Amino acid sequence: MKKNDYLSVAITLGLAMLLIFQLLTGSPPAREIAYSDFRTLLAAKQVDALVVTPTQIAGEIRMPAAAALLAASDAAAIRNNGAPWRFWTNRISDDRLTDSLAAAGVRYRGAPDSNWGGAILSWALPVVGFVVLWSFLMRRGGAMRDFAGVGKSRARIYAQTEMGVTFDDIAGIDEAKAELRQIVEFLRHGERYRRLGGKIPKGVLIVGAPGTGKTLLAKAVAGEAGVPFFSISGSAFVEMFVGVGAARVRDLFEQAQQKAPCIVFIDELDALGKVRGASALSGNDEREQTLNQLLVEMDGFQPNSGVLIMAATNRPEILDPALLRPGRFDRHIAIDRPDLIGRQQILAVHVKQVKLAADVDLAELASRTPGFVGADLANVVNEAALHAAELDKPAIEMADFDEAIDRAMAGMERKSRVMNEQEKVTIAYHEAGHALVAQSRAHCDPVKKVSIIPRGVAALGYTQQVPIEDRYVLRESELLDRLDALLGGRVAEEIVFGDVSTGAENDLDRASALARHMVTRCGMSERLGLATFVDMPAAGGLAGTPGLERYSEGTAALIDEEVRRLLGEAHERVMRTLRERREPLERIARRLLESEVIDHETLLQMIGEAAPATVGVAQDVAQSQVEAVRS
């Protein structure tokens, strides 16, 4: 429906409501009677509240008993109407009228003849005011305009010059860019593909963790192809009014057809495209109607219409299968977290806009930020710039990046939090235990920094480990070493104080989750064998939601026993290590109490030995074993 159509409907509804209001609040209609009947009623004192004009007399009959004095038709009207009965009659020249009114004791007043212009004006003024108010709200963008455009798509349209984003502005996801270059070439040179009968994919679904650059990648495709870019969020289609979401989908695709070739980008597709029928209470709700309309519109496109649908989500497992089939979202592009080289490339893009000191090493920064995505790295660069500006430095130094990384990993430094001496000593030994055990295990990541400075909401201290390289496959021995490092703080408290604190709560959570993962998903239990034990979703439920267990209670008890066994064996190994190396533990704790922070080199000196075998050495050994088997 067009904007003018909404305006016409609104004006019509307003006039109808005004008419009903006038009819309900106005006086009841009057009935005409003969002048002779009026004289009869007046003589019987059955009239009241008379209005006398030069041409008419109007008033009310006092009681239904006056029906006996009137004609049969008028009498029937009085009996059928319980409300006060109004009448009027044409005035006849009567010199005795005033005397008769006084004799009957009737209330009366004079009035001029009816003013039809005033009556019309009383109707016209509200109508004109309504139209003026409507026009004002439409111009100012008020609620009425929102109502008029309730079925319009809220997609923002960007021209190529407005985007300002190309593939050169994106780093760390070279594989995804390579897949999308074909899409760009089709939008630029579609004839080359049509000549051979090729068809462009109707839809491209970009999947990745939050902050990996899904939206930026879609903008870069539009910027490279030089075509209009429609951007809208999936939640913008879903409203409380039935049919609004479907109307917005239709309007969006109509606009896209007019602007073809173009790109329609739907961000957070999971808000719109969740699997249908997942809940027994959902029924045929508004969201499902909107999704059905989206499916229909995507089927209605011609193969080479020049309209490309792109969408992004970080929860592909909950999308409806009808969206993911070929013919709709044909191509799926997964964006993983960047590796070491990718993080260095992303940092190189973001530091172009800031001033760096000579000591800044991007490779070192990339190695210290494992698991960071593009948004995290952009935030680190910005926090470093803010920290340097706060200290009035001429350029951003490595120390500023150190502070930014610490803030990103552990939170802001809590200088206002004052701990008593007992807590401080406990935390110092706790973190010293983590650091000493981690540095004593060949398969643990090296300890970059140990600190007892409170950060964030609950972190009273932390031990920062930085991997030498990205790892995608971990062996059982490596997982056991990580389990030892997690329990190092708790065991150190047991040895030194003979008591434990609540500071190990998070460590125990992570250790328990790691041990259960080893048992139930990785088959690292001889008693359970080569099997996985995971919860199955309930019927009609989504993956990851609580559901039914596909193993018996006996198996569940055995799993619990194996988890306790792994944690118990790790506890014994850590206990032996810290008792044997009690002296380094004391040195590290005392140094933390003095300086609050220990770096990697200082930690190695205090342990009194060279760095243990790293993950890279373990990989070299594994590679030599593989070559021996092949030979």
Hey, which residues are catalytic here? 431
Give burial (CB, 10 Å; 0-12/13-18/19+) of 52: middle
Please state the φ and ψ torsions of residue 570, each to the nearest 5 degrees: -65, -40
481 phi and psi angles, rounded to 5 deg: -65, -40
Task: Give bridge partners of residue 262 from the DSSP assignment.
Answer: 307
Integer Cα distance of 336 and 356 in angstroms:
28
Q: Look up residue 450 and give its DSSP letter.
A: E
Write 141-148 long-range contacts (CB < 8 A, 24+): 144/10, 147/6, 148/3, 148/6, 148/7, 148/10
Q: DSSP secondary structure string, 50-85?
A: EEE-SSEEEEEES-GGGGGGS-HHHHHHHHH--SPE
What is the spatial distance between Cα 267 and Cα 582, in angstroms, rounded to a whole number? Answer: 55
- Kindly report the backbone phi and psi dihedral angles of residue 587, in degrees, each rounded to the nearest multiple of 5, phi listed first: -65, -45
> Which candidate, 334, 264, 321, 316, places its Cα nearest to that of 291?
321
Q: Are strands 447-451 and 597-599 parallel, antiparallel or unpaired?
A: antiparallel
Which amino acid, residue 396?
A: I
Helix (H) or strand (E) holding 436: helix 421-440
CA 500 from centre of chain? 41
Alpha-carbon span 90 to 38, nearest angstrom: 10
Write the secondary structure of 98-143 as one string of H (helix), E (strand) and C (coil): HHHHHHHCCCEEECCCCCHHHHHHHHHHHHHHHHHHHHHHHHHCCH
Report the distance separating Cα 9 and Cα 79, nearest Å: 42
The single-letter code of the amino acid at 259 is: K
Helix or strand holding residue 286 (H, E): helix 286-300
Amino acid present at 587: R
DSSP bridge pairs for 31: 87
**Residue closest to 273 by CA, chosen among 314, 232, 318, 240:** 318
